[in-house]
Structure 1
Amino acid sequence: MSRQKRVMAVGVAVVLASAVAPPLAAADAAHTAVPKIQWQQCPDDKHLRCAMVPVPLDYADPRGKKISLRLVKRPADQPNRKIGTLFINNGGPGGSAADFAVGAGDLLGASTRQRFDIVGIDPRGIAGQRNCLTEGCGSEPVVCAAAPEDPPGPPVPTIAFPRSESEVNAQLAFDDFYRGLCDKRGNEILDHMSTADTARDMDLMRQAVGDRQLTFYGISYGSVLGATYAAMYPNKVRALIVDGVLDPVAWSTGRGDDAKYVASARFGSEYGAWESLHSSFAECDRVGAARCPAAGQASGKFHKVVERLKQGDVDTPNGKLNYQEVMGTLLGAMYGPGNYPLIMDFIEAMHQQIFGAARVPSRAGDAWAKLRAAERPAVPTFGEETIAPTFHGVLCADSVNPTDREAPIRSAAHAEANGPGFGELWSWISSPCVNWPGSSKSAFRGPYTVKTSTPLLIVGNTHDPATPISGARALNGLMKGSRMLTLDGWGHGTLRMSECVTGKFESYLIHRKLPVPGTVCQTDAPLFPAAS
């Protein structure tokens, strides 16, 4: 019996049970032996400590097979005043929290790095490679690898998201191949990758470092991990910050009619991206052309360029540009607030090239090259023969998704109506989750309405292109006693954007002091700085 058939046989029972109680309660993992962490000096940095730590593959069988997790620790600057360990997660899913630990102390404030060891755990299935003690180290990787005797699969789609009938059919064919490969050739970690499994790992590491309760900072998908831990272990929270927040209900089950759509069409990310871009157009027009090249109907220029791109590729001195590539690059660039001037420069250059006087020299190629160099990839990528489903292995295990083949198409249309230009991109990210072969029997899907031993600090950015502030507001409404802190700015999350936010983080992490209700911090730098 294939993995997919096994999972489908129990899928209905799991979904129904999750509405009443988590399929594997935190208490069920309580009998797991606490490992001893053997810290060693990291080979790449003498100030860091590294370790590989065994944990159960399946917490329902804690004495069974073990897998290894990679940990990196940045020791507290003032060990004699150390409060404990701050665990961190930088999101994804698929990001290496162990690698993030290297620079996280510089992002979270001087007082934080003085008073806490900062520890990143590579989530199960995620194989980061920096500061490795041995060749090939990393947390147990998830892999779906083709065997030599397997027939070749369809080519990996090279577009950011499909639009035409032929592109949609090619994406659906690849999704079928991807799921089939994971069903036949996926290693056993694929059935044990839920966020709840990672929360159990984190609680085990909390015990291993000797902390009575957890101190945690998570950004982006790390907010799902933080919310899941808080809901599973409400009495074990010492201080817990979630930043760039995803609504955990939207992530896991959705609400009402949301069940008709694939998971990433429920997050509101398409609207977040649309709002972030269009509010930046308004700011561009406000500050004027001296600070923002596209000022003077910036939104109108963008829409004219986009409509032309939808009609076909546009030639630039540096090559052809197409609609999907441009929208995907814009989304990745919007993650960093410092990239918005580059976005406006590109829009202005493209507008001049397409609609300006014939004698205007084209800057579009150079502007595009600068934008591509600055962007942060916002979507998962795949290889030809080996697929590492670090993103889908988690999201698809965590979330309830429709099972009909038309679901991704329906979801794309729904999301595109909510966030024109970005809905198709965001919704197709989770198209493989339709009939995903990995098991979700250990996933946690609520309830999230709990009162924690220390109230959570929930942080939202007013113009976040990936996790709109609605996610922070939703979690704030779910978690009893939690406090919301708002940053009035652009970009994804709040790290490095505001000394005001950093100060609130330090006060909460060290003294567990929450900011005053309704606190709104400002960014340290304007979106469009004045020319020096």
Structure 2
Amino acid sequence: MLAPSASAAPAESASYGASYGVPESVGVQIAAARAQHAGIDWKDCPADWGFEKPIQCGVVKVPLDYAKPFGKTIDIAVDRIGNTGTKDERQGALVYNPGGPGGSGMRFPRRVTTKSPLWVNASKAYDFVGFDPRGVGHSTPISCIDPQEFVKAPKADPVPDSEADKRAQRKLAAEYADGCKERSGWMLPHMTTPNTARDLDVIRAALGEKKLNFLGVSYGTYIGGVYATLFPGHVRRMIVDSVVNPKQEQIWYQANLDQDVAFEMRWNDWKAWVAKNDATFHLGNTAAKVEAQWQKLRAAAKANPIGGKVGPAELISFFQSAPYYDSSWVPVAQTWSAYVAGDTQALVDAAAPDMTDIAGNIASENGNAVYTAVECADAKWPTSWKRWDRDNTRLHKNYPFMTWANAWMNLPCATWKAKQSNPIEVGAKRIAPVLIVQSERDAATPYDGAVELHHRLAGSRLITEKGAGSHGVTSLKNPCINERVDGYLLTGKVDAADVTCAPHAAPVAPAPQAKAAGATQASPLLEELPAVRR
């Protein structure tokens, strides 16, 4: 444990803080002062982390419990690449979170090394800094189940046919909650979004920054909103993209129910697009026919898992990327089309877990563990199965694509074995302008969330991508948005009023004569995000 700096607290406070605790607001000040004094020992990244020079890596120590700032600490892994412009052009560090909960931001500096065109201007002014939030990856990680067991396929069909099916899923969820307690119980009470926001402020201090520049996508927007609430005076620039609804009553049970409705909307958008391009994909020339093909595929996989590994659960995990991201529209349709044309292996390669990918499976299990731990710790969930059953049965009738799969993923929170907090009231009346970016038909984070956060952050500006629905708007080419993001990061200026932008270019299906092919390589955005819900 690092010794506190003289400015952090007098020596006698250390004993008090370790034994009896202090307010968390005081604890984070102590931790930030200590981190500012220590800085970050930047070095070449460990070879097994997979980040090449000139990206550098380091570790920031933060309290496990901010009420005990001199007690047990955990590691937060960080990486960076310096700004590409001159010393005079530099405006500090831009810290990134891609979402989750459970997502790693460590790939963010690669937007510089790969010369991503959307980030060239920002990278002249900012060091790009990524981090693994508490519990994730190269930070002190948590686990809930053996990774090989977690990825084992095929899993049971998420859509129950009987009460027996529901009982089986309830048993699995309770066992998963027990596994989290057994394997990671010491961290579970502290796996909250407010603690991640406090960690972010300690990172800010360790970077030597007086104020924070932050880009948060998806769940990262909730981290941003909580940070703005706890540290309004520390915000310099903040962009939140694809926004979680921050209302206390939404976190997290209702948010997941609302997500089921939004996913169905975007699933329907994709089916209509596939039907429009039937000459290429041959999956049906109406959305209804495409849906019929989907039901046929699900039934076939349920009766006889494809390749012995791909059942309905694996199909949903693969196909859900189409409602998530426009970049998946073509590859998912191509893979499905290839299967219908007789290429079974294309779908197996795309949808089945790779049991030999030890590192990937560990990351997948860890991401799901963090997702569950944060959502369960952030709020008190319903414990009555009757309520879960009623709400999800009702929703499934009209929104069947994701409802039950989402329910089972979150059900461990009903029998959670660790402390569950009350969500904080997000909002700030005195804060630097925050830029909010949102597509109108986002499936993972419905549009109402952006509107709500906009109302809660004084002086914020909302950019709406009208008619679009991809998740993670700032990584898409749309000059109406890209130019405003650049302008805000470089000057701090926002428009005098909210802005509505036309949608980015829609995905283009290959020409009809092109042979159907399997899924193409994922986009950089997809590679950054874990296989979780937001």
Q: Does residue 42 of structure 1 match 2:52? A: no
Given residue 125 of structure 1, which amino acid in structure 2 is its aligned partner?
Answer: G
> What SS class does the counterpart of residue 459 from structure 2 fall into?
coil
Report Cα offsets for 1:239-272 as digits up to 9, x if no partner: 11111211122xx5339xxxxx935534x22122
- 1:463 aligns to what? 441
Contact 2:24 2:67 in 1 (8 A): no
Given residue 71 of structure 2, which amino acid in structure 1 is its aligned partner?
Answer: G
Report 1:453-492 matches (<5 A): 453-487=431-465, 488-492=467-471
Q: Given the superposition, is the C-alpha separation of residues 381 and 406 from structure 1 closer, same or farther in structure 2, using an over 3 Å criterion?
A: farther
Shift of 1:172: 1.3
Shift of 1:455: 2.0
1:68 to 53, 70, 75: 75
Unaligned runs of 5+ in 2: 1-21, 354-359, 515-534
2:291 to 303, 318, 322: 303
Report 1:272-351 matches (<5 A): 272-284=262-274, 289-290=278-279, 293-294=282-283, 296-297=285-286, 299-308=287-296, 313=302, 322-345=311-334
Given residue 232 of structure 1, which amino acid in structure 2 is its aligned partner?
Answer: L
> What SS class does the counterpart of residue 65 from structure 2 fall into?
coil
Report 1:58-137 matches (<5 A): 58-80=65-87, 81-103=89-111, 106=116, 109-127=119-137
Distance 2:376 2:453 in 1: 21
Distance 2:367 2:133 in 1: 17
Q: Given the superposition, is the C-alpha separation of residues 433 and 387 from structure 1 closer, same or farther in structure 2, using an over 3 Å criterion?
A: same
Q: Given the superposition, is the C-alpha separation of residues 107 and 437 from structure 1 closer, same or farther in structure 2, using an over 3 Å criterion?
A: farther
Report Cα offsets for 1:389-412 as digits up to 9, x if no partner: 211111111122111234443342
Greater shift, 384-393 or 273-282, is seen at 384-393
Q: Given the superposition, is the C-alpha separation of residues 349 and 82 from structure 1 closer, same or farther in structure 2, using an over 3 Å criterion?
A: closer
Q: Given the superposition, is the C-alpha separation of residues 386 and 92 from structure 1 closer, same or farther in structure 2, using an over 3 Å criterion?
A: closer
Distance 2:170 2:305 in 1: 31
Q: Given the superposition, is the C-alpha separation of residues 370 and 460 from structure 1 closer, same or farther in structure 2, using an over 3 Å criterion?
A: farther
Distance 1:284 1:344 in 2: 7
Shift of 1:218: 0.8
> What SS class does the counterpart of residue 395 from structure 1 fall into?
helix
Q: TM-score, normalised by structure 1?
A: 0.77
> What SS class does the counterpart of residue 305 from structure 1 fall into?
helix
Greater shift, 54-63 or 388-397, is seen at 388-397
Given residue 493 of structure 2, which amino acid in structure 1 is its aligned partner?
Answer: K
Report Cα offsets for 1:340-394 as digits up to 9, x if no partner: 13444566677xx6xxxxxxxx3463663576499xxxxx989999997211111
Q: Given the superposition, is the C-alpha separation of residues 176 and 318 from structure 1 closer, same or farther in structure 2, using an over 3 Å criterion?
A: closer
Contact 2:228 2:431 in 1 (8 A): no
Shift of 1:294: 4.4
Unaligned runs of 5+ in 1: 1-22, 128-137, 147-151, 256-260, 354-361, 375-379
- 2:141 aligns to what? 141
Q: Does residue 214 of structure 1 match 2:212? A: yes
Q: Given the superposition, is the C-alpha separation of residues 39 and 102 from structure 1 closer, same or farther in structure 2, using an over 3 Å criterion?
A: same
- 1:161 aligns to what? 158
Distance 1:448 1:332 in 2: 29
Identity %: 27
Report Cα offsets for 1:394-433 as digits up to 9, x if no partner: 1111122111234443342244246232211222221111
Contact 2:266 2:469 in 1 (8 A): yes
- 2:17 aligns to what? none
Shift of 1:525: 3.5
> What SS class does the counterpart of residue 428 from structure 2 fall into?
coil
Q: Does residue 30 of structure 1 match 2:18? A: no
- 1:506 aligns to what? 486
> What SS class does the counterpart of residue 235 from structure 1 fall into?
helix
- 1:178 aligns to what? 176
Q: Given the superposition, is the C-alpha separation of residues 295 and 452 from structure 1 closer, same or farther in structure 2, using an over 3 Å criterion?
A: farther
Greater shift, 471-480 or 65-74, is seen at 471-480
Shift of 1:333: 3.8
- 2:369 aligns to what? 389
Given residue 304 of structure 1, which amino acid in structure 2 is its aligned partner?
Answer: A
> What SS class does the counterpart of residue 391 from structure 1 fall into?
helix
> What SS class does the counterpart of residue 440 from structure 2 fall into?
strand
Q: Given the superposition, is the C-alpha separation of residues 122 and 30 from structure 1 closer, same or farther in structure 2, using an over 3 Å criterion?
A: same
Higher helix share: 2
Q: Given the superposition, is the C-alpha separation of residues 264 and 166 from structure 1 closer, same or farther in structure 2, using an over 3 Å criterion?
A: farther
Contact 2:437 2:474 in 1 (8 A): no
Distance 2:90 2:374 in 1: 33
Contact 2:62 2:75 in 1 (8 A): yes
Contact 1:219 1:245 in 2 (8 A): yes
Distance 1:156 1:194 in 2: 30
- 1:133 aligns to what? none
Contact 1:91 1:220 in 2 (8 A): yes
Q: Alignment RMSD, CA only? A: 3.6
Contact 2:155 2:313 in 1 (8 A): no
Distance 1:373 1:463 in 2: 29
Residue-pair matches, total: 468
